[in-house]
Chains A and B, each alone.
Chain A
Amino acid sequence: MKILVPVKRVIDYNVKPRVKMDRTGVDLTNVKMSMNPFDEIAVEEAIRLKEKGAATEIVAVSVGPQKAQDTLRTALAMGADRAILIQTDEEVEPLAVAKLLKAVMDEEQPGIVLLGKQAIDDDSNQTGQMLAALSGRPQGTFASKVEVKGDKVEVTREVDGGLETVSLTLPAIVTTDLRLNEPRYASLPNIMKAKTKPMANKTPAEYGVDIAPRLTTLKVEEPAKRQAGVKLGSVDELVAKLKDLGVAK
């Protein structure tokens, strides 16, 4: 079975993002970029499935600028077999990505598409779900456990009330959550070896997908600065304050 793993190049999670002066977006100039942490978990899960014998080939795919090749190379260094870069310098929304992934699915015919649940730059949490709808395939989102059983995949999902396990007929869409696994590091020697693995270069036009944004960003602002706290002297004072704030009766 082939596993398709989309990965996204995002601002590194250690970096403190700064909003651009003109408030049109986050300043990405000279900022460290890395693979989206949830996508690392997806790559890791795909590799573990291959190591268990449940998968035969892992294909990593990314939609982004030329530099997204570095992100794909990290996936290859971790253990993916082959990579596809769908190159564009434009901003791509989850719907556009989902449409492109649908086209890739048609070509590659994977048994599972393993995505990160969301990207840490936009926090959309939409691509996996949209892909499931576009492809008409079942989805198991927020996975904390993935088990292939014959022609089905059992996905344990983290939901508000606890854990829910669903059984999906392959091909299926799975999105990863934090506790699914701890990804291995892409070592430097493996990065070097990954340069010999196939990397295909495509464009959105080649897949016949219109990636023009459907949304207009009106403004981007930093979150409000945290206000100073107030020290109270007694429980009575606390209750009075809570009543003033309207959160207690």
Chain B
Amino acid sequence: MTNSRYEILFEPVRIGPVTAKNRFYQVPHCNGMGHRAPSGMAGMRRMKAEGGWGVICTEVCEIHPSADISPHSEARLWDDRDIPALARAADGIHEFGALAGVELGHHGFRAQNRTTREVPIGPSAHAVASYDPVQSRAMDKQDIHNLRRWHKAAALRAKRAGFDLIYVYAAHGLVTPMQFLSRKYNQRTDEYGGSLENRARLLRELIEDTKEAVGGTCAVPVRICIDELIGAGGICASEEGKDVIEMLSGHADLWDVTVGDWSDDSLPSRFGPEAAYEDLVAHVKKVTGKPVVGVGRFTSPDTMVAQVRRGVLDLVGAARPSIADPFLPNKIRDDQLDDIRECIGCNICAASDNTYTPIRCTQNPTMGEEWRRGWHPEIMPAKESEDRILIVGAGPAGLECAVTLGKRGYQVALADAREELGGRVARESRLPGLSEWGRVREYRMSQLHQLPDVSVFLASTMSAQDILDAEFDRIVLATGSSWRRDGVARWHRNPMTRLQAAQVFTPDDIMDGVAIEGPVIVFDDDHYYMGGAIAERLRDQGRDVTLVTPAPLVSAWTVNTLEQTRIQARLLRKGVKILTSRALTGFVDGVATLACAFTGEEAQAGFNAAVLATSRSANDQLYRELVADEARLKAANIKSVTAIGDSLAPGTIAQAVFGGHRYGREFEKPVTDDVPFNREISELGPWP
């Protein structure tokens, strides 16, 4: 029974010739599976349909080999042979009464065509955006005719595959109709360039073509960028953004509005709150009577209701919140708000697509594993024995393990040495910008409160003897990891010799509140978020901070989480001195030695303290002590001792949650040499 406060979210919405059963709209989003793992993609979409979403869309669907964005693996409808894979997704979505949408797209000059070797085409001749040595050519009238023909053919294939909504995609700077729309990319002087009407011509034609081809039975949504966020030189929501929608309002069945590029649209929580662009999106409904959907990392049901009541959106769009919790709509419907897994805005999901791997989620370890491992986010298999399990360590791995085992009905004790649960999540979420990451801990704590068979013990340091005396059948060690003090990571593979321990600190020290006087040098050979976050924390405390890294970019791996540019910008604006392509090779008596990453040439500079954010050591002493004496374990009737999470090998929080979940779900299964998940093998082509 729905709390009447949220009833408005469950009203049906008409979209052209089709009707969505509620306002929960999963907008197109990539997932790293795409055409290379079609059942994986279909299984993931189907799970969301089961979770109650009214509309579920695929990722962008490549319509023609002239715009190939490999190695990214997105959906594909190049010819009829691609239909069955898309049909599988549409069928899965339909199984639970949701509408299926497909986002047809042509990547224009952004496609490097690494596989097809076609020359990229776009409104004007431009170098591709990436550093591939590839340039595009300007489309002539024949090219435009061709594009229209390819788009129409893809739309007809999409209809045969069973889709209810067939998009025209003109957003993120990534696709041809938007490249024509943007003055940044379109320098044409014919009727497809110049005035807004001309620049919007291709878009209008594509919408009309699609409506003509499939519009009788299918809705034609348009995904459009209403503000390029580049100021006067680009589309602005209050001017051209609004104008183009007004101009084309009669054509589109629904407006799926976005802002900026992918890093803006999928704004990380470190750089912006929920509903960050409401002011811009609010312009749209003033100029169109068609339904409007947009995103904002909406996690609060109250925010969702407010967007509708305030007349900002008709449909509540979501990508990341649907990834963190495919069952978000059902949980709101059933008044299970405490059970909602809230998105933390870490963008590990985006990183998956950017590393060409199946999507994963820090909060939801089953994301991407629906088909591959048969994992359901809300259903755990029943327990298989009366084994009692002791989990030592209540960080993300231990917490997830305890919750999973508890939901299966096992008796569990979760012990942690500290006086708070959460381990590294509790500590790291106190770093600048990372507070939403604390939801990893909060969600699991809310679940623990509902599991009477899971007992939690704080302030409980467990020695090996304590564990042996504790009378449990299985022991899980989730004791985490510690940042190394010897500089070992990628640059130094052996401990640094020129290091004076007294003035050398680690991120653990900073998070423990150890006071350090500046000037401080932060050596980052970790390349994810920690080095940058520590530098920011120290700078916020008023210290003189220099961040040194062997990479050419600060926090280099965050290119994948769409955060890198903002991280470096923020540190620069805060006055952190940045020295890239350099390694710290020594720190003695207040003198740091820095070596050029290319030439090895050394230079010296004075600092009061150094913080080494390099790599971590697994806290595995307890594990080693226990497994060293098998006879002792046997005497204590302990069936197994297993290390999970960072204490097995330090990694991301997502990996720790995954490890904890996997143990909880599968610990009874014997480990074999078989591939531990389903996979699809390519069909061999014709051969002489």
Contacts and interface: CB of A to CB of B under 8 A. Distances in A.
A224 interface: no
A14 interface: yes
Most buried by A among B452, B466, B469, B470: B452
A188 interface: yes
Interface stretch (A30-38, A85-93, A164-172): A30-38
A186 B456 CA distance: 10
A228 to B, nearest CB: 8
Interface in B443-500: 449-452, 457-463, 466, 469-471
B338 A188 contact: no
A33 B452 contact: yes
A14 B442 CA distance: 12
Q: Which 5 A-B pairs have the closest CB atoms?
A: A185-B459, A188-B457, A187-B460, A14-B449, A188-B460
B413 interface: yes
A247 B388 CA distance: 59
A249 interface: no
B458 A189 contact: no
A32 B450 contact: yes
A187 B457 contact: yes
Nearest to A195: B471
B327 to A, nearest CB: 19
A61 B460 CA distance: 25
A185 B458 contact: yes
B359 interface: no
B611 interface: no
B419 interface: yes
Contact of B462 (A16, A33, A186, A189): A189
A159 to B, nearest CB: 32
A186 B449 contact: no
B362 to A, nearest CB: 23
B415 interface: yes
A15 B457 contact: no
A31 B452 contact: yes
B457 A191 contact: yes
B462 A188 contact: yes
Contacts of A81: none
Interface in A149-195: 184-189, 191-192
Most buried by A among B419, B449, B463: B449
Nearest to B413: A188
Contacts, number: 44
Contacts of A191: 457
A12 interface: yes
Interface of A: 12, 14-16, 30-33, 184-189, 191-192
Contacts of B413: 188
A32 B451 contact: yes
B462 A32 contact: no
Q: Please report whether the interface of chain B is mostly helix, strand, loop or mixed according to DSSP.
A: loop
A33 B451 CA distance: 10
Nearest to A33: B452
B629 to A, nearest CB: 19
Given A32-B452, A192-B469, 15 more contacts: A30-B452, A31-B452, A32-B451, A184-B459, A185-B460, A187-B457, A187-B458, A187-B460, A188-B457, A188-B460, A188-B466, A188-B470, A189-B460, A192-B470, A192-B471
Interface of B: 338, 413, 415, 419, 449-452, 457-463, 466, 469-471
Contacts of B449: 12, 14-15, 32
A17 to B, nearest CB: 12
Contacts of B466: 188-189, 192
B451 A187 contact: no
Nearest to A77: B457
A186 B338 CA distance: 27
28 contacts: A12-B449, A15-B449, A15-B450, A31-B452, A32-B449, A32-B450, A32-B451, A33-B452, A184-B459, A185-B419, A185-B460, A186-B457, A187-B457, A187-B458, A187-B459, A188-B415, A188-B457, A188-B460, A188-B466, A188-B470, A189-B461, A189-B462, A189-B463, A189-B469, A189-B470, A191-B457, A192-B466, A192-B469
A191 B466 CA distance: 11
Contacts of B451: 32
Given A16-B338, A192-B466, A192-B469, A185 B450 contact: no
Nearest to A226: B5
Nearest to A15: B449
A214 B107 CA distance: 79
A31 B453 CA distance: 9
Contacts of B419: 185
A14 B413 CA distance: 18
A10 to B, nearest CB: 13
Contacts of A31: 452
Nearest to B3: A225
A76 B317 CA distance: 53
Nearest to A185: B459
A31 B449 CA distance: 9
Nearest to A12: B449
A31 B462 CA distance: 27
Contacts of A30: 452
Nearest to B454: A32
A52 B459 CA distance: 22
Most buried by B among A31, A189, A191: A189
A165 B247 CA distance: 78
Most buried by B among A32, A184, A186, A188: A188
B414 to A, nearest CB: 9
A234 B196 CA distance: 45
A178 to B, nearest CB: 18
Contacts of A186: 457
B334 to A, nearest CB: 13
Contacts of B471: 192
A18 B466 CA distance: 38
B297 to A, nearest CB: 26
Nearest to B338: A16
A31 B415 CA distance: 20
B45 to A, nearest CB: 33
A16 B339 CA distance: 12
Contacts of B461: 187, 189
A12 B419 CA distance: 18
B10 to A, nearest CB: 18
Nearest to B469: A192
Contacts of B463: 189
Given A192-B466, A192-B470, A185 B457 contact: yes
Contacts of A12: 449
A57 to B, nearest CB: 24
Contacts of B470: 188-189, 192
A225 to B, nearest CB: 8
A32 B446 CA distance: 12
A68 B124 CA distance: 78
Nearest to A187: B460
A33 B452 CA distance: 7
Contacts of A192: 466, 469-471
A62 to B, nearest CB: 18
A158 B475 CA distance: 46
Contacts of A15: 449-450
Most buried by B among A12, A31, A191: A191
Contacts of A188: 413, 415, 457, 460, 462, 466, 470
B4 to A, nearest CB: 9
Contacts of B459: 184-185, 187
Nearest to B452: A32
A8 to B, nearest CB: 17
A191 B415 CA distance: 12
A186 B459 CA distance: 8
Contacts of A185: 419, 457-460
A244 B458 CA distance: 52
Contacts of B457: 185-188, 191
A33 B463 CA distance: 28
A30 B459 CA distance: 26
Contacts of B452: 30-33
